[in-house]
């Protein structure tokens, strides 16, 4: 993955920024994200910006679970398979 990013933006020539939003400002938290991180690679010479986001969602973040809609026992199956 680093090679692909480097081909597009030349990482060694970039200013690299990380973005750590609070829980109110992070849109992936609404989708059930457990953690996330964001990086921006800015190459001034090439006038390019690459945004890279990675996040992990909970098994319980399915649409039915968050809305409270019944899901034919899927919640129970998800809880059984989870390592808590």
Alpha carbons 20 and 8: distance in angstroms, whole number: 24
The alpha carbon torsion through 17, 21, 25, 53 (nearest 10 deg) reads: 60
pLDDT band at 67 (very low <50, low <70, confident <90, very high): low
The angle subtended at Cα 55 by Cα 52 and Cα 64, nearest 5°, is 135
* pTM of this structure: 0.59
How large is the greatest C-alpha to C-alpha distance in the chain, in angstroms? Answer: 55
pLDDT band at 84 (very low <50, low <70, confident <90, very high): very low
pLDDT per residue over 20-55, tens digit each? Answer: 877 666 666 666 778 888 899 999 999 999 999 888
pLDDT band at 74 (very low <50, low <70, confident <90, very high): low
Hey, what domains does the chain have and what are their CATH numbers?
Answer: 2-81 (3.40.1000.50)
């Amino acid at each position: 993955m680093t090679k692909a990013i480097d081909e597009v933006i030349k990482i060694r020539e970039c200013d690299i920024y990380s973005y750590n939003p609070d829980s109110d400002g992070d849109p992936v938290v609404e989708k059930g994200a457990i953690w996330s991180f964001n990086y921006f690679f800015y190459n001034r010479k090439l006038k390019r910006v690459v945004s890279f986001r990675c996040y992990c969602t909970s098994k319980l973040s399915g649409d039915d679970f968050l809305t409270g809609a019944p899901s034919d026992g899927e919640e129970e199956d998800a809880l059984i398979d989870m390592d808590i």
